[in-house]
Amino acid sequence: MDRRYFWTKVWGSPGIPAHDALAFNHESTRDAVLADAQPGDIVVYLTSDATEADPLMRGRVAGAVEVADPPEPVMVEELRGHRSRPEDYRKDGRFRWPFGITVSRTWKVIDQEANDALVPDHASKGIQGAATIHPMRPEEVQRFLRLRVEEQVEGEKTDRQPFSASVSRPWRQKVGKRAGSEVQPGSQLYIAVIADSHGMTFKIGSGKAEDRLSELNHYRRPSQGEMLWAKYQVWDFATVDAARAAEDHLLARAREMGHGSKDHTEFVVGIAMPQLAELFTEAVAVGQAQDERES
């Protein structure tokens, strides 16, 4: 999909799609955006510096939403119901952003990315920054694609992924039957990380991520101050072969870039987070292609 990317100012991260929308203060503004909206458009949320904004996210990137197919008008207050905060209402009791556009997927950004770093001129829009949506430049989109996100899915906990990987397909269950196939045990690509005085070391592997992480930490001694391996990123494939193909690709590319380790063939060292995010996205694409060949 050839997606378009926009940004707007908000007071916090989006909720789950069934109870949230791309919200506007004025109906005329909503209708103008709706007239141009295309299914799959992504709107990135920058948290404003307003006192009413989420104090944990002020001044940084909060999340993103995907415009629904088809985009439809909706009344936001009815959609959110009891999930609205007191700050979302004016002193006279009116809801601040009553006019919305339906969204199909939503994400919360995990990495602490400043608004100024992602969209350097956002402040020049003034109050218009929050009134409507604004196109993102190609370099801004590329930077956002590398940020880690958690997709917001009702009743489920999703893994942290670079946005470029997460948006490439809808979130789906980790196990069980789906659309003519069945997810097999051990069909995950994972990245584990450990940080110590020597810096950060990443372990790339495939299989059951939780089991492999437990094995990595089996002989670690946290009571004596040793650091433990932690899960950094995970992706679920339909087949074991797909997960292994993704693993092999990621490791080969990391070695080509000079980030292989003399200590272990599955270790990656000295790599910047944006580079690792790009390699992870590449590896996911390789694994998905393998799944498609086997379906």
d(CA 144, CA 13): 15
Mean confidence (pLDDT) of the chain: 89
Q: State the pLDDT at residue 176.
A: 39
pLDDT tops 60 at residue 181: no
d(CA 216, CA 120): 41
d(CA 177, CA 252): 32
What interhelical angle do 138-145 and 273-294 show, nearest 10? Answer: 80
Q: What is the pLDDT of residues 68-127, one digit of tens each?
A: 999 999 999 888 877 777 887 888 888 988 999 999 999 999 999 999 999 999 999 998
Q: Which of the four pLDDT bands, split at 50, 70 and 90, describes residue 1?
A: low
Average pLDDT over residues 199-217: 92
pLDDT tops 60 at residue 158: yes
- List domains and CATH numbers for the chain: 5-166 (3.10.590), 176-294 (no CATH)
d(CA 253, CA 282): 9
CA 70 to each of CA 42, 92, 273, 274: distance values in angstroms, whole numbers, following the listed order: 14, 34, 35, 33
Q: Residue 210 in contact with residue 192, Cβ under 8 Å?
A: no
Tokens of residue 249, six digits: 């690709």
Q: State the pLDDT at residue 273.
A: 86
| Alpha helix stretches (DSSP H) within the chain | 27-36, 76-80, 115-118, 128-131, 138-145, 163-166, 209-216, 240-256, 273-294
Q: Which of the four pLDDT bands, split at 50, 70 and 90, describes residue 175?
A: very low
- Helix H or strand E segment including 227: none
pTM over 0.75: no
Average pLDDT over residues 263-275: 92
Q: Residue 36 in contact with residue 65, Cβ under 8 Å?
A: no
Task: Give which of 102, 237, 114 is closest to 168, Cα–Cα.
Answer: 237
Q: What is the pLDDT of residues 216-235, one digit of tens each?
A: 998 888 888 888 999 998 98
Q: State the pLDDT at residue 58.
A: 92
Tokens of residue 11, six digits: 């007071």
The alpha-carbon radius of gyration of the chain (Å, integer) is 21
| Percent of the chain predicted with pLDDT > 90 | 63
Q: State the pLDDT at residue 139.
A: 94
pLDDT tops 70 at residue 259: yes
Higher pLDDT, 159 or 265: 265
Pairing state between β 42-47 and 5-10: parallel
Average pLDDT over residues 246-264: 95
Highest mean pLDDT out of 10-14, 40-44, 288-292: 40-44
Q: State the pLDDT at residue 29.
A: 96
Q: State the pLDDT at residue 185.
A: 63
Q: How far is CA 46 from the centre of its chain?
A: 14
Q: Which of the four pLDDT bands, split at 50, 70 and 90, describes residue 140?
A: very high
Q: State the pLDDT at residue 183.
A: 45
Q: State the pLDDT at residue 171.
A: 54
